[in-house]
Homo-oligomer: A and B are copies of this chain.
Amino acid sequence: MKPIINSELTAFFELVRPAINTTLDQLLPAETTVPSRIHQAMRYSTMDGGKRVRPCLCVAAFGVYRDDWKTVLPVACAIEMIHAYSLIHDDLPAMDDDDFRRGKPSCHKQFDEAIAILAGDGLLTLAFEVLGRTSVFPEDRMLRAISMLAAAAGSASGMVGGQVLDLDFEGAPVTAEQLEAIHRWKTGALIGAAVQIGAYLGGSPEPDLAHVKLFSERIGLLFQVVDDILDATDGSNRDEGKATYPGIYGLEKSRAIAHDVSEEARRAIAPLGEPAGMLLAFCDYLEKRTQ
C-alpha cells in the first residue's frame, strides 16, 4: 500500500499522460482501417491533447493499492473513450451546437454529422470491447467495473441523463439543487466511476470502498465547479445560457464552494493514509486552477 510515485503530481502527469496516449493509440483502429472515415473521426476526437483527467484519476486510485499502474491503462483508456464520445455527441447541432472543441473544428464540422454520430457510437462500443477483452483482473471485479462504468455513463443518474437535464434546463432559471444534480450526473458520475473503478480493480478492500466513493463524488463535483469558474473567467461564452456555479452564486462564492468541496474530498480519503497522496494532490491541482 505505498504510493506508486513519490514525486509531485506534475511528475505523475508527465509519466502517465504519455502512457495513456500511447495506449489509446494502440487501442483505436488505425486511420486506414475500413471504413476509414469513421476511424479518422474517432482518432481526431480522442488523440487531441485532452488533459486526460479521468484516466489519470483512474491510474492514481489504482496506485493507492498497486505499484504496477500500467496494468490498468486499458481500463483508464476505455473511460477516456467514453468521455471523448460524449463530447462528440454534445457538440452536435441538435445538442449544444458547438463548432469548435479545444481550438479545432468539432467532429461534425471536420467530418459530417452522420460520421460524428457514428464515431461517438463507435467509441462508446469500443470502450466496452476493450473492457471485455481485459483479462488481467479478477473476472468478477471486471464485470462489476463494466456495470459501474455503464451506470455512470447511462440515462438514469448517469452522464446521458445529465445531458438531458442540461438541455431541459437550458435558458431557464435553475435552483442550486438542480444545478448540482446536472453536474453530479453529467460530469461527476464518470469522474467518480474512474476513481472507484481504479481503486476497485487495484483491490481496494471493502472498508475502503465507502471512503473512495465519497471522495470520488466530491472530486467529480469539484471538477465541474472549477470548470464553470474557468469558463466564466476566460471569456469564451461557451456556457452562455447554461446553468453554471458562477451564474447562480457569483465568482467569489463559487471559489469558496470549490474550496469547501475540495476539503470534503480530502477528508473522505484521509482514512486511506499516505498511499492516497496522489489523490490528495489532485484536489490541490483542481482547486488551484480557480485562483
Contacts and interface: CB of A to CB of B under 8 A. Distances in A.
A143 B139 contact: yes
Nearest to A120: B121
Contact of A118 (B114, B126, B155): B155
Interface string A150-168: 1101111010110111011
B164 A146 contact: no
Contact of A124 (B124, B132, B145, B146): B124
Interface string A64-103: 0000000000000000000001000100101100000000
Nearest to A115: B164
A113 interface: yes
Interface string A118-133: 1111101110110111
B125 A155 contact: yes
A135 interface: yes
A13 to B, nearest CB: 29
A274 interface: no
Nearest to A86: B121
Contacts of A160: 38, 118, 121-122, 125
A33 interface: yes
Contact of A132 (B112, B117, B147): B147
Interface string A22-52: 0000000100011101110010000000000
Given A42-B155, A128-B147, 10 more contacts: A29-B156, A34-B156, A38-B155, A38-B160, A94-B112, A118-B163, A121-B160, A122-B160, A125-B150, A132-B148
